[in-house]
Amino acid sequence: MTPRIVKSWIQGIHLATVCFGIILVALLPQLGLSLYGQTQMLLVAIYVLVTSGINLSFGYAGEMNLGQVAVFAGGAYITAILHVHGVNDLAIAMPASMVAAAFLGFLTGIPGVRLTGFALAMTSFFLVLLIGPLTNIFDSETGGAVGLPGLLNWKFAAINIDTQTFYVVAIAVTVAWFAAFRNLIRSRLGLSLQVLQCSSHLARSLGLSVFRLKVTAYVLGGLPAGIAGSLYAVTTGYIGPAAFPFSLAIAFLAASVIGGSKSIYGPLLGSAILVLGPLQVASFAKYSLLIYGLFLAVIATLFSGGLIAFFTRIADRISLTRYLRLTPETEGRSSPTDEVIDIPGEELIVTGVHKAFGGLVALSGVNLSAAPGQVTAIMGANGAGKTTLLNVISGLVSPDRGEVTIGGRRITGQRAHVVAQAGVGRTFQSPLIPSGLSVAEVVATGRLRHRAVSLLEIIFRAPSFHRARRQDNSHARVALKFAGMSDLATRRADSLPLGPRRLLEVVRSLASEPNVLLLDEPASGLDDAGLAELAQMVRRARNSGATIVLVEHNVAFLLSIADTVHVMHLGSVIASGSPEEIRENDDVVAIYLGRRQVPNPAARAAVTPSERARRRGESDA
């Protein structure tokens, strides 16, 4: 029996179990579940919906958003107000609530674009305080503090529905969203959000628009809260501002944290515990706040992944699951096994770039070029402007003057993610590796700049989604093989030691097939073995046609690997040439060793004639 067959069997059993579970839950009323029990199950569904939205924005995108209750309330009020106006068809009310929720999610996302951390948490928390005043101001529609009672007699698609039918509709809607949620997380979007959580610079350098990504996360996170609000209005038959207190925000957050904020199935567990646990029993209800709080404090302190992570670890011990996990998803499918990768290097030309930070001139008229199939190294003391130059090229810093082109296309002044999409890949001085991802996934994030797949294609797992995923996986695998790191593919990337982490950054960039690859001090902190591996990888990437710009302090390493060397000093290039020429250059020696020496003709020869002409022209100007 091949592993593939076993795997597909396991997946089949898995799917069958899940389907059976869903049908069982949907049929519970027929199996004699009491009305009270049905309401409890509906509450679980409502919590699952809201919590999955929290997981999207908090767990995966990393921004704590306490405004979910306001979105929830918005969804509930829209459905209720429509009912008051005689529209009692859920097939209309629910989509309307979703639209409202998406809009509210967008509104809560606006502060999120500028704010992070506690400021965002508090600003979104503020929205909960606005529910009461807003319902008062629009009391002709919302019923003010009294609320809207008597939300009975609902239809779905023009058919009258009773409690049991509504129960089935609610479960179906929840399952549908949950499937969409799972598909969204297990996709490029999920990867992108985790990249964003790691660092917005990293996200930009991988070609992701931080603004779009954040707004997407908030709008998507709002949608289920809107659905939940709609279901809530029908379930209780009454809504008023008192139904949406601060403590509800805490309860939702607790459900997310208890189950595991950065997990797909955590919301199921957290919601079930919160709703079906003993806290709803009247004699325990007065302890509920105390216990929510304890849950939050204890679980966030001790079990950072929530209970689902705890159970997953146990499940991993069971051999079949482990077997499933260790088999990469596309193993055995047709894939290029050739280790040689083709990197479409293009010429990078930097002309007359100036950049000053206040009074500090970081770059004063830098000219250099880097050719495909060559390693172009930049050396210079700290403060020479090397990293600023890389930041200008990659769009993180915009220059005061000057021009940067790749392959003749002007990229000066473009925002960083646009530059990355145009083909500039880079690594960072201290490796930026998102936590919780496997090595293969980290490498796959290098592919994010290529051919976006739309959210609908992701949710419905369209053929284009599978095509893109296959491509991403095969590129990631090839890049890992190319780097000789295939054996690490399933390891957790953030647990790697520094050396492999640095190499991983390079591999991630290579997987993106960059037209220009910028390496910012990739050798720092590497031991001899690591240096050798890095050197080999850089050489092979060069031989595959890459345009590599290398900034490095390790001079021996740099000279051993570079085809052309530019030496920077105080913001400009003072010498350019082959490693041999640079080694002999007296200016360079003087800067590095502090010798005072009159430049001799040999030193001048190391500077290319055109370079010298440009420098002269500038000193004249």
Partner 1 sequence: MLIAIWAGLATGAIYALVAVTNNITLSQLGVFNFAQTQFLVAGAYLAYQGIEVWGLPWYGVAIGSGVCLASAGWAQERFTIRPLGGLVAGHSATLVTTVGVATVVQGALVLKWGTTPLTVPFFGGDGSFDFLGGRLQPVDVFLFGLTACLCACLYAASSRTRWGLSGRAVTTDEDAARLRGVNVEWLSSSSFMLAGFLGGVLGPFIAAKTGVAVELSGSLLIYGFVALAIGGFGSYIGAAVGGLAVGLIQSLVTRYFELDWFPITLFGILLLVLIVRPTGVFGARATRSL
Which parts of this chain interact with partner 1 (CB under 8 A)?
58, 62, 64, 110-111, 114-119, 121-123, 125-130, 132-134, 136-137, 246-247, 250, 253, 257, 286-298, 300-302, 304
* Cβ atoms of 218 and 109 closer than 8 Å: yes
* Cβ atoms of 550 and 537 closer than 8 Å: no
Rank residues 296 and 349 by Cβ distance to partner 1 and give the closer one: 296
End-to-end Cα, the chain, rounded Å: 77
Rank residues 305 and 380 by Cβ distance to partner 1 and give the closer one: 305
Edge to edge, the sheet with strand 401-406 lists 360-370, 348-357, 401-406, 409-410
Residues 6+ apart with CB under 8 A from 388: 355, 362, 363, 397
Question: What residues are paired with 566 via a beta bridge?
Answer: 378, 576
Residue 17 CB, shortest distance to partner 1, in Å, is 32
Cα distance between residue 128 and residue 244, in whole Å: 8
Residue 567 CB, shortest distance to partner 1, in Å, is 28
Cα distance between residue 533 and residue 498, in whole Å: 13
Rank residues 204 and 569 by Cβ distance to partner 1 and give the closer one: 204
* Cβ atoms of 399 and 392 closer than 8 Å: yes
Residue 151 CB, shortest distance to partner 1, in Å, is 24
3-state secondary structure 389-420: HHHHHCCCCCCCEEEEEECCEECCCCCHHHHH
* Cβ atoms of 237 and 42 closer than 8 Å: no
Q: Give Cα 5 to chain centroid, integer Å.
A: 33
Residue 27 CB, shortest distance to partner 1, in Å, is 37
Rank residues 115 and 276 by Cβ distance to partner 1 and give the closer one: 115
Residue 251 CB, shortest distance to partner 1, in Å, is 9
3-state secondary structure 221-256: HHHHHHHHHHHHHHHHCCECHHHCCHHHHHHHHHHH
Rank residues 116 and 330 by Cβ distance to partner 1 and give the closer one: 116
Residue 64 CB, shortest distance to partner 1, in Å, is 5
Return the structure tokens found at 102. Answer: 């998406």
Residue 290 CB, shortest distance to partner 1, in Å, is 3
Residue 220 CB, shortest distance to partner 1, in Å, is 19
Cα distance between residue 304 and residue 296, in whole Å: 10
Rank residues 245 and 344 by Cβ distance to partner 1 and give the closer one: 245
Rank residues 133 and 413 by Cβ distance to partner 1 and give the closer one: 133
Cα distance between residue 197 and residue 211, in whole Å: 13
Cα distance between residue 64 and residue 261, in whole Å: 10
Rank residues 174 and 391 by Cβ distance to partner 1 and give the closer one: 391
Residue 361 CB, shortest distance to partner 1, in Å, is 19
Residue 587 CB, shortest distance to partner 1, in Å, is 34
3 state DSSP class of 312: helix
Rank residues 132 and 383 by Cβ distance to partner 1 and give the closer one: 132
Rank residues 55 and 79 by Cβ distance to partner 1 and give the closer one: 55
